[in-house]
Amino acid sequence: MAYNHLPTEELQALDAAHHMHPFTDGNALNKKGARVITSAKGVTITDSDGKEILDAMAGLWCVNIGYGRDELADVAARQMRQLPYYNTFFQTTHVPAIELAKKLSQLVPGDLNHVFFNGSGSDANDTNIRMVRHYWALKGKPDKKTIIARWNGYHGSTVGAASLGGMKGMHAQGGLPIPDIAHIDQPDWWSEGGEQSPHAFGLERARQLEAKINELGEDKVAAFIAEPIQGAGGVIIPPESYWPEIQRICDKYEILLIADEVICGFGRTGQWFGSQTMGIRPDIMTIAKGLSSGYAPIGGSVVSDEIASVINSGEFNHGYTYSAHPVAAAVALENLRILEEEKIVEHAGKVAAPYLAGKWAELADHPLVGEAKIKGLMGSIALTPDAASRAAFAAGAGVVGLMCRDRCFANGLVMRHVGDRMIISPPLIITHQDIDTLIERATKSLDETYAAVKAEGLLSAA
């Protein structure tokens, strides 16, 4: 269904006048005008001028089942008519909350059988901060409250979640981080591994966790939080030595392991959860994004039997008006039904991922590309003036990445840049034909970027 709308320039002027965008230089955007997206179907978004763009980011890593599934719209309308809202605070519950919690306890591995719902991934990580500290307090260890996280990790944008995150630009605004959060370095071999082998580097970065625990004292450390694969940080796939060592350290020192599965969950890495792909056993999982394929805002903390039994021993003074919102929960449930019945996770892992991985690897031969890495359907390429030395550009971080991103947009492809890494995370329903188109447009954009970089004399190493 197409809606009539104002001409693009008028929409852009109104957007500039009244709408403040997240993570955006407002004045710079308002000067050129935002792209207005008006509809979408499958893996393709359409803007207000009718231009069709292959969305290789699935929105913000979330539209796992693809755009335009009427079933979710129908379920939302039905649920709004039946029970648009009720809370779960005051000894009440409702059917979508019950069914979704039960379904998640079946899908999530291990004994993570209990869900605390909220409206987003950020909310869920704020819940995690309070829950793990309260957990240790109830166990008679109120000093066990520091949470260790990683530089360049992303856990959301609320004060608590952004404190867990390791984005220095976010910490610089608004008085972050909150107390009792510590950060260790990320397992990004390409930019930070120096002369070490990836294997040795992975171990070294994991052992920073052990060193930090020893520095703070294990009786002071509540939890370690990390994304199985860093998303917003640039799709950083850690060396294989990394996660087993992290798991060993968490077990040894009785540190709760929180896997932030907001991106990795629901098929992104080729299995249902990134924890399965990376072989870890978290005590808590943060979920959002792919939980509803982005069709409705919902997130959750999925916790172990042990944590639930401790937290449930008294009142947990925490909750959101929209915890387990019935419409969002019903939409999520329908999304999970489609993921399961249409075997979309299997398609992603066994059909789309191997085909994409082969093509993606070939991009490493491009003169502007250093490494090309991919796991399931999340991948990145590192742009570099010199692949052999893994050098950065003298132009400064992100200058060339932004040029490439703009070329992609012009060529009908959404590929994001994080500094000088180009990243993709397409809808899981992507077909071989869509993948061919993706690679074709990415290659064309890389060629054009390379030509421009050369012409502007930016091909020198820092």
What are the residues binding ligand PLP (CB under 6 A)?
120-122, 125, 154-156, 227, 231-232, 260, 262-263, 288-289, 299
CB 142 within 8 A of CB 136: yes
Quick one: tokens of 319? 């909750």
Query: Smaller CB distance to ligand PLP: residue 231 or 239?
Result: 231
Q: What φ, ψ does residue 223 adopt, rounded to 5°?
A: -160, 160
User: Least separation, in Å, of the C-beta of 289 and ligand PLP?
Assistant: 6
Query: Smaller CB distance to ligand PLP: residue 227 or 283?
Result: 227
Quick one: tokens of 404? 């490439």
User: Least separation, in Å, of the C-beta of 448 and ligand PLP?
Assistant: 29
Query: Smaller CB distance to ligand PLP: residue 118 or 208?
Result: 118
- Chain position whose Cβ is nearest to ligand PLP: 121
Rounded CA separation 397/406 (Å):
16
User: Least separation, in Å, of the C-beta of 115 and ligand PLP?
Assistant: 16
Rounded CA separation 225/462 (Å):
33
User: Least separation, in Å, of the C-beta of 39 and ligand PLP?
Assistant: 23
Element (DSSP H or E) covering residue 439: helix 432-455
Query: Smaller CB distance to ligand PLP: residue 156 or 427?
Result: 156
User: Least separation, in Å, of the C-beta of 193 and ligand PLP?
Assistant: 22
User: Least separation, in Å, of the C-beta of 318 and ligand PLP?
Assistant: 16
User: Least separation, in Å, of the C-beta of 350 and ligand PLP?
Assistant: 24
Long-range pairs of 341-348 with CB within 8 A, sequence gap ≥ 24: 342/65, 344/64, 344/65, 344/267, 344/428, 344/429, 345/266, 345/267, 345/270, 345/271, 345/272, 345/428, 347/428, 347/429, 348/267, 348/268, 348/270, 348/376, 348/377, 348/428
Element (DSSP H or E) covering residue 257: strand 256-260
Query: Smaller CB distance to ligand PLP: residue 223 or 435?
Result: 223
CB 167 within 8 A of CB 234: no
Rounded CA separation 337/324 (Å):
18
Tell me whether strands 378-383 and 369-375 are parallel, antiparallel or unpaired: antiparallel
Strand positions, DSSP E, 1-129? 37-41, 44-47, 52-55, 112-118
Query: Smaller CB distance to ligand PLP: residue 292 or 449?
Result: 292
Query: Smaller CB distance to ligand PLP: residue 231 or 370?
Result: 231
Residue 157 gets which letter from DSSP?
A: S
Query: Smaller CB distance to ligand PLP: residue 249 or 288?
Result: 288
User: Least separation, in Å, of the C-beta of 120 and ligand PLP?
Assistant: 3
